[in-house]
Amino acid sequence: MNINAIREQFPILHQEINGHPLVYLDSAASSQKPRSVIDAVKRYYELDNSNVHRGVHTLGSRATDAYEGAREKVAKLLNAGAPEQIIFTRGTTTALNLVATSYARSVCKEGDEIVITPMEHHSNLIPWQQAAKATGATLKYIPLQPDGTISIGDVENTITPNTKVVSVTYVSNVLGVINPIKDITQIAHRNGAVMVVDGAQSTPHMKVDLQDLDVDFYAFSGHKMCGPTGIGALFGKKALLNKMEPFEYGGEMIDFVDLYESTWKEIPYRFEGGTPIIAGAVGLGAAIDFLNEIGFDEIDKHERLLASYAYEKLSALEGITLYGPEQNRVGLVTFNLEDVHPHDVATVLDSKGIAIRAGHHCCQPLMRWLNVSATARASFYLYNSEEDIDRLADALLQTKEFFGHAIG
Amino acid sequence: MQLDDLYRRVIMDHYKNPRNRGTMNEESVTINLNNPTCGDRISLQLQVVDGKVTDAKFSGEGCSISMSSASMMTEAVKGRTFDEALSMADRFSSLMKGEPVEFEELEDIEALSGVNKFPARIKCATLAWNALRKGIEHQQD
């Protein structure tokens, strides 16, 4: 993988921040966009823009083709099978809320269980909390091992025949751990539950095969995988989607409307009320093309190298705590420096042109599990290099010195 | 962007040696406030007698800016009437907007003027003052 050639394609990376060349280490929050994605969105607006699925005119057909073409690209990327099983949404949050509302709230009743884990992002936690409250179902958590991993024994012990929904993240945005989704799915299915997966941190970085995993629902966001903000998707198995009520009512999603009754379109349109996110889908399609051209095996390999390099470099620093397992992790490192709050770390790093995330990472229950109020996180993507990590490690050393000196 | 503008000596002194850190046992007004974007949290306790803040203590977790600001605020507010305290809170808001204001009550507070150049950190600095405002407004209701 030629990092310099890849970096060339990301215009935003070639600038100085506070007098230093930018080192962007916050891709787990949102990735940067290559020229091809920016151009695809621009080209769509300059040449093809129109509404979809209704215009008789040529632009209407072009916009529809572009939008549906993007749906096919998503289906193929995830090996999802029939493209109508892909519903475009604003992102992972909306996709998970859709499942929690249209599926879980109609299926769950008192005595049923919804099973999640303490490492979930708020977007895969609160929708289930609310669904449990609304239906009287019990929310249960699969406990975590001391290193933040999930043991299959705990999964077996938590999921029961009363469990209706299991929802787990494929990759933790804090711990970097990759969860055994295929095994958890088998246990969920054996107990008659559906399996929902938060794919926000997996889809950008690794090959995902939904038919092999056999999950029932899978959600992800475009903006974390080189695509635009405001576009993501939900995969749902056809048989389940066909039974579900719409999430939003309005234009585009109806079959026949009368004064007092209406009927809905077939899937996926039933779940895409209103003018869809057409330009976003076009941009996401371009992002998928871009990533496919480089290859997910290459991306995965590169990021694992960066992760282990970062783990090695950072763990050599005195007074640093790294969170999450050392093995089987994606390209992110979550840490704390002794006696320096992560916000202060992030501010000092920013003054040196290095962008990292500090805070609770939308994982407050996980922060409590780790027994910290906040952490710092450096996350890597295909455009990052070992040199970026060297600069991070140097800057962290300077941060320690600065604060050691400042607070004496 | 100069780090020294943000992390001035007096700020780091309040961070390292926070004034009024702790809890009060007697009847006091307690305000718990979070900064939901970053996870900072403060618990502010005020002892109130006849429209005056007679004592103030804080506990919680946060960065150097939020904790030093809480230390300064509690130090400055002790012995002030509600109106005087709210006037300081207003001036602190102005300080965060980069306006030139003075704190005769405690000059240390003026050292936080540098936060204005770090927009992402303004919420850290204002957390304690928001708790103070909330506590007083609750008393006035």
DSSP letters, A172-231, are -TTT-BBP-HHHHHHHHHHTT-EEEEE-TTTTTTS---HHHHT-SEEEEESGGGTS-TT-
- CA-based nearest residue in chain A for residue B68: A407
**Residue A347 touches partner B, C-beta closer than 8 Å:** yes
Which B residues in the span 24-63 are in contact with A, Cβ-Cβ below 8 Å? 37-41, 61-63
Is A362 a known active-site residue? yes
Q: Can you tell me the mean pLDDT for B30-55?
A: 91
Which A residues in the span 38-57 are in contact with B, Cβ-Cβ below 8 Å? none
Q: Are residues A80 and A198 in the same domain?
A: yes
Q: What is the pLDDT of residue B139?
A: 85
Q: What is the pLDDT of residue B5?
A: 85
User: Is 80 exceeded by the pLDDT of residue B136?
Assistant: yes
Q: Are residues A256 and A305 in the same domain?
A: no
Sign of the alpha-carbon dihedral angle for A366, A123, A325, A375? negative
Q: Are residues A305 and A216 in the same domain?
A: no
Chain B environment of A358 (Cβ under 8 Å): 38
> B21 near B57, Cβ under 8 Å?
yes
The domain tally of chain A equals 2
CA distance B44 to B28: 10
Element containing residue B74 per DSSP (H, E): helix B64-77
B51 phi-psi bin (left φ>0, alpha ψ -120 to 50, beta other): left
Q: What percent of chain A shows pLDDT beyond 90?
A: 95
Interface probe, candidates B61, B64, B71, chain A, greatest A C-beta count within 10 A = B64
Q: Give residue-wise pLDDT tens across range A347-400.
A: 999 999 999 999 999 999 999 999 998 999 999 999 999 999 999 999 999 999
Domain that holds residue B64: 3-140
Strands A23-24 and A354-355: parallel
Least Cα separation, residue A245 to chain B (angstroms): 33
Q: Are residues A63 and A152 in the same domain?
A: yes
- CA-based nearest residue in chain A for residue B16: A407
Q: Give residue-wise pLDDT tens across range A83-114.
A: 999 999 999 999 999 999 999 999 999 999 99
Q: Are residues A285 and A313 in the same domain?
A: no
Chain B environment of A16 (Cβ under 8 Å): none
Q: Give residue-wise pLDDT tens across range B80-93.
A: 999 999 999 999 99
Q: Are residues A285 and A193 in the same domain?
A: yes
Q: What is the pLDDT of residue A408?
A: 60
**Structure confidence at residue A343 as a pLDDT band (50, 70, 90):** very high
Pick from A340, A399, A404: nearest CA to B65: A340
The domain tally of chain B equals 1
**Structure confidence at residue A328 as a pLDDT band (50, 70, 90):** confident
Least Cα separation, residue B80 to chain A (angstroms): 30
Which of A343, A402, A407 has the CB atom closest to B38's CB atom? A343
Q: Are residues A49 and A126 in the same domain?
A: yes
Q: What is the pLDDT of residue B3?
A: 87
> A229 near A199, Cβ under 8 Å?
no
Q: Give residue-wise pLDDT tens across range A180-214.
A: 999 999 999 999 999 999 999 999 999 999 999 99
Q: What is the pLDDT of residue B97?
A: 95
CATH code for the domain of A359: 3.90.1150.10
User: Is 80 exceeded by the pLDDT of residue B106?
Assistant: yes
Chain B environment of A344 (Cβ under 8 Å): 7, 63-65
**Residue A363 touches partner B, C-beta closer than 8 Å:** no
Q: Give the strand order in the sheet containing A357-359.
A: A320-323, A332-337, A375-379, A357-359
CATH code for the domain of B103: 3.90.1010.10
Strands A262-264 and A163-169: unpaired
Residue with tokens 């480089």, as numbered in its chain: A294
Q: What is the pLDDT of residue A190?
A: 98
**Residue B10 touches partner A, C-beta closer than 8 Å:** no
Given A245, A275, A292, which residue is the final one in a domain? A292
User: Is 90 exceeded by the pLDDT of residue B138?
Assistant: no
**Structure confidence at residue A151 as a pLDDT band (50, 70, 90):** very high
Domain that holds residue A91: 37-292
Q: What is the pLDDT of residue A407?
A: 65
Q: Both tokens of residue A120?
A: 């979930």
Given A292, A307, A334, which residue is the final one in a domain? A292
Which of A343, A373, A402 has the CB atom closest to B121's CB atom? A343
**Residue A268 touches partner B, C-beta closer than 8 Å:** no
- CA-based nearest residue in chain A for residue B124: A343
Q: Can you tell me the mean pLDDT for B9-26?
A: 91
User: Is 70 exceeded by the pLDDT of residue B36?
Assistant: yes
Q: What is the pLDDT of residue A17?
A: 97
Those residues whose C-beta lies under 8 Å from the C-beta of residue A312, and which sit 6 or more positions away, are none
Q: Are residues A201 and A219 in the same domain?
A: yes
Given A266, A292, A318, which residue is the final one in a domain? A292
Q: What percent of chain B shows pLDDT beyond 90?
A: 82
Element containing residue A4 per DSSP (H, E): helix A3-8
**Residue A367 touches partner B, C-beta closer than 8 Å:** yes
**Structure confidence at residue B4 as a pLDDT band (50, 70, 90):** confident
Q: Can you tell me the mean pLDDT for B7-28?
A: 90
Q: Are residues A81 and A180 in the same domain?
A: yes
Is-cis flag, bond preceding A83, omega within 30?
no
Q: Is B23 helix (H, G, I), strand (E, B) or coil?
A: coil
Helices B64-77 & A342-351, crossing angle to 10 degrees?
A: 120
Q: Are residues A354 and A366 in the same domain?
A: yes
User: Is 70 exceeded by the pLDDT of residue B1?
Assistant: no
Query: Which range among A31-40, A53-62, A241-250, A311-320 shows the weakest confidence by mean pLDDT?
Result: A53-62
Cβ–Cβ gap B1/A18 under 8 Å: yes
- pTM of the predicted model as reported, rounded to 2 decimal places: 0.94
**Structure confidence at residue A133 as a pLDDT band (50, 70, 90):** very high
Cβ–Cβ gap A347/B9 under 8 Å: no
Q: What is the pLDDT of residue A43?
A: 98
Across chain A, how many H-helices and E-strands are there? 15, 17
